[in-house]
Structure 1
Amino acid sequence: MAQEHRKTLIVGSGCFGLSTAFHLLKRGWTDVTVIDRAATLPALDGASNDFNRIVRTSYTDYFYAKLAHDAIESWRDRDEWNDAYHESGVFVLGSPDAVVDYAHKSYLNDLKMGLRVVSFHNQTALREVFPPGAQVGSFADRTGHLNRDGGWANAGQGVSILITKVKELGGKIISGKNVIELTKLGRKTTGVRCSDGTTFNASLVVLATGSWTGSAFPDLQMENIFRATGQCVAMVKLTPEEGDIYRNSPVVLDFSSGFYVFPPNEDNLVKMAVHAAGYTHSVGAKKISTPRTVTSDPETGLQIPRANVKELRDWLRMVYPALAEKPFVATRLCWYNDSVDGDWVIGYHPESEDSLMFATGGSGNSIRHHNLFVSDYGSLGHAYKFLPVIGRLVADAIEGKLSADLTAKFAVTRIPDKPDQSRRGQITQELDLSQLCIAQDLQ
């Protein structure tokens, strides 16, 4: 049977899943179905549904930097992506003169690609990155660079656009299907069984289940290559007048602290987070880290540890001192599927006879919903910015066309030999539910 006629089932309608379906269908695949546990799509607590996500080329690995630039070229096409992408620029704090600095290495890659980057070496120049009237910190003893070829995307909008594209190409998307088991014949995966008793048969199953992969499929024993981690996020609400003052600010990304903050969106919400090792939430006898969201825990699923509330406010004060005096209107634990080395996991399970493919390890996917109080958010990400192009890599892996070096880079069976250098700290903490913030902590 020709590859393009394989009955293909993709589990998960986030960045990896939808982009894979899109690229397979564009290549002429004729039987592609995407299923998702969520009752409505984009998923309320899904990993690629957010009101803003950073779109950056700031990577020390030139492969990711170049692929991000390719994605940005696609994002700019308004006929394809409407106004989902906003080229505000990304202001990277660091030390362009420090050879060992992550920001510096990213800066060199941006220069190598010929991007519109400007470096700054004094406080006066740094403050001029921001619009007139915006109250900004002193940036004492800091340097940085502004990359004008970057910004942020409305992630929920991008996902919705891609759902439409997949359907227009003949793909099927079915919500409300919570997969609880892979069905097999010998070593070969033959489909899935869902909690409502329905089954889906396929000759190829693609697991694009993000941070739920480990807990949903514990028998696959993938914890040595990736695991779910929660990252702390908070938001402040500006007045319309304040929103107009700060609107044209760039995304600010400080690799030394892990802190990043967006300009206000159309609802005058300013979102911030810290890109760190994060929290695990170990569940069950196997102690597999499992996302804890507003869907699984409606009462407390949005709360972050109170210590992180203070940390976020302190870092916000370093960038926007006046905004740091405002109450936080919402907090989130954003759940990532972190790979140990920061590389994606794209490849066939070694014992599946090419019937089970992984497409995950986004190390930072996130979500959105119209009501900001019933959702989870994240932003720095290592997958969403690639939404227009990441499925191309998965499709290549499925068809056996991925280059040997990328096959090894993304292999399910690889032995990670380096930690993810973009994060502050490398040791996760177990989430202590007794230390979650309460309303008073947000004032």
Structure 2
Amino acid sequence: MAYDTSTRIAIVGGGCWGLSTAYHLEKAGYTDITVFDRSSELPSPQSAANDLNKIVRAQYADDFYTGLGLEAIAEWKQGDWAPYFHQTGHLVMLSGYAGEKAQGIFEDAAICSQTNASLSPHISELDSPEEIRQCCWQLTGDLAHFRGYLNRSEGYASSADAVKGISAKLAKRGIRFVLGPDKGLVKNLVYAGDGRRCTGVRTRDGTTHSFELVVCALGAYGASLVPKLGQFCVARCWSVAHVQLTVEECTILRGIPIVNAIDLGFFFEPDPETCLLKITPLGAGYSNFSGTTQTNTSLPPLASGDIGQNKALSGYIPEADEAQMRRLLHQTLPWLADRPFVHKKMCWFSDTVDSEYCIDFVPNTDRSLVVLSGDSGHGFKMMCIFGKWVRELLESGRQKHARWTWRKGPGDSQGADWGGNVSWRFGEASETGDIVKEREARTAKSSS
């Protein structure tokens, strides 16, 4: 079926990719777009974009994504997107703790940055702790055996602010939003009699909404609505924590580049409104296969129906991740290393074994159902341009990039074990059930 600008379109999910799709379709003249989200306001607490900030970078080992990263950075500096971008620079380092894999990844990244004609003018090599401190004097830690490089062209976007701001602009431009746990929560898709054509969505309040095209943009929750997504997309989560600063401490750290020790974790300049410094460890992440009734499918607890596990994960991060983040702070900002971590959470993403996105029609639906999935922890930076690729899909009728097509079988994506095999991650993938057991043991020990 060919789509035109009058097509009735539903976008399920008001996160960064769903909003980007609405943004670019509206910009192209599409006039009948409705966004559904289970949250009463955006950003949703379940959205990975409900975060202080996300890295916006162009450095990839793959020239394809480097080109897209450069395009995204240019777009983040323009128009509706510019208020949310901060070109602080990106300090990429290798710590003294680094193993062989981390060393190889760092060397490859450095070579890519130094040899790419678009990146190299912005790169400064930093071969010693002294040189690192010359570029970021606030790093008063030992930085023992650290080395790295600074990419001055990169930075971050204020992700929650971007979702809130863009959704408000879209509402003023005529995009309809159906929000809330009853009216906005899509419980299932509606199909025509033969089951081959998606004709709309049914929300939790029992209402059936008819559409000519449905776009599923639920991120880690996608397989709860399109079960076959679980064959190749794995819901996986990583720890996020924050350090509460005073106004004076926040002022000291304002303007620092993203500090990214690739084998330990990264942090950003603090948020001036909340004085929170966000920090994240790097690792293989945690999946949730055991907590779902769908065979061989990982889903976040809220989507899998495991309410008990959802409560157990709330406000908690694994001890190993916390220790890793403290190692990073001890080496870089030692005066913060023993501060309590606040606003701790597990942030869910949709992961693929090759870190490739999926932007495609679901097979055997007569091109009536599109899925946007597989952000793999590097999708938010593309928010400002992502919707353009969805528009191109609708207008051409096919995905022109083989890497973004629907996967035809489970392949290596079944099970949780492959998470540690992703080229740019470290450690072993684990299950959220292990986190629950750890927290229960920790609680029992403290109360005994």
How would you bin the TM-score normalised by the shorter chain?
0.7 to 0.9
2:411 is equivalent to residue 398 of structure 1: no
Would the alpha carbon gap of residues 110 and 143 (structure 1) be closer, same or farther in structure 2, given more than 3 Å must change?
A: farther
Q: Give the corresponding residue for 1:165.
A: 169
Native 8 Å contact 2:50 2:159 kept in 1: yes
Native 8 Å contact 2:292 2:299 kept in 1: no
Q: Give the corresponding residue for 1:412.
A: 406
Native 8 Å contact 1:342 1:363 kept in 2: yes
- C-alpha deviations, 1:386-409, integer Å up to 9, x for none? 1110111121112227773x1x11
Q: Give the corresponding residue for 2:98.
A: none
2:297 is equivalent to residue 303 of structure 1: no
* Secondary structure of the structure 2 residue equivalent to 1:205: strand
Q: Give the corresponding residue for 2:140.
A: 136
Native 8 Å contact 1:337 1:362 kept in 2: yes
TM-score (structure 2 length as normaliser) = 0.85
Cα distance in 2 for residues equivalent to 1:323 and 1:99: 28
- 1:123 equivalent among 108, 120, 129: 129
- Output the amino acid matched with 2:90: V
Q: Give the corresponding residue for 1:367.
A: none
Would the alpha carbon gap of residues 251 and 293 (structure 1) be closer, same or farther in structure 2, given more than 3 Å must change?
A: farther
- The range that moved more, 291-300 or 419-428, is 291-300
CA drift of 1:319 comes to 2.2
Q: Give the corresponding residue for 2:433.
A: 431
Q: Give the corresponding residue for 1:384.
A: 380
Q: Give the corresponding residue for 1:226.
A: 233
- Output the amino acid matched with 1:171: I
Native 8 Å contact 1:26 1:169 kept in 2: no
Native 8 Å contact 2:317 2:345 kept in 1: yes
Unmatched runs of 5 consecutive residues or more in structure 1: 365-381
* Secondary structure of the structure 2 residue equivalent to 1:39: coil
Native 8 Å contact 1:14 1:208 kept in 2: yes
- Output the amino acid matched with 1:387: M
Cα distance in 1 for residues equivalent to 2:214 and 2:397: 18
2:201 is equivalent to residue 207 of structure 1: no
> Where is the helix percentage greater, Structure 1 or Structure 2?
2
CA drift of 1:207 comes to 0.5
TM-score (structure 1 length as normaliser) = 0.86
CA drift of 1:92 comes to 0.9
* Secondary structure of the structure 1 residue equivalent to 2:41: coil
Q: Give the corresponding residue for 1:93.
A: 93
Cα distance in 2 for residues equivalent to 1:109 and 1:339: 28
Q: Give the corresponding residue for 2:99.
A: none
Would the alpha carbon gap of residues 147 and 110 (structure 1) be closer, same or farther in structure 2, given more than 3 Å must change?
A: farther
Q: Give the corresponding residue for 1:237.
A: 244
Q: Percent identity?
A: 31
Cα distance in 1 for residues equivalent to 2:110 and 2:39: 41
* Secondary structure of the structure 2 residue equivalent to 1:60: coil
- Output the amino acid matched with 1:175: L
CA drift of 1:11 comes to 0.4
* Secondary structure of the structure 1 residue equivalent to 2:231: coil
CA drift of 1:140 comes to 2.9
Q: Give the corresponding residue for 2:359.
A: 346
* Secondary structure of the structure 2 residue equivalent to 1:221: helix
Would the alpha carbon gap of residues 49 and 31 (structure 1) be closer, same or farther in structure 2, given more than 3 Å must change?
A: same
Taking only aligned residues, the RMSD between alpha carbons, in angstroms, comes to 2.8
CA drift of 1:258 comes to 4.8
- C-alpha deviations, 1:204-240, integer Å up to 9, x for none? 11100011112343xx322231111110111111222
Would the alpha carbon gap of residues 242 and 113 (structure 1) be closer, same or farther in structure 2, given more than 3 Å must change?
A: closer
Native 8 Å contact 1:190 1:203 kept in 2: yes
* Secondary structure of the structure 1 residue equivalent to 2:396: coil
- 1:184 equivalent among 184, 187, 191: 191
Cα distance in 2 for residues equivalent to 1:66 and 1:301: 38
Would the alpha carbon gap of residues 2 and 434 (structure 1) be closer, same or farther in structure 2, given more than 3 Å must change?
A: closer
- The range that moved more, 349-358 or 422-431, is 422-431
* Secondary structure of the structure 2 residue equivalent to 1:19: helix
- Output the amino acid matched with 1:360: S
Would the alpha carbon gap of residues 105 and 97 (structure 1) be closer, same or farther in structure 2, given more than 3 Å must change?
A: same
2:80 is equivalent to residue 80 of structure 1: yes
- Output the amino acid matched with 2:293: A
Would the alpha carbon gap of residues 110 and 37 (structure 1) be closer, same or farther in structure 2, given more than 3 Å must change?
A: farther
CA drift of 1:311 comes to 2.3
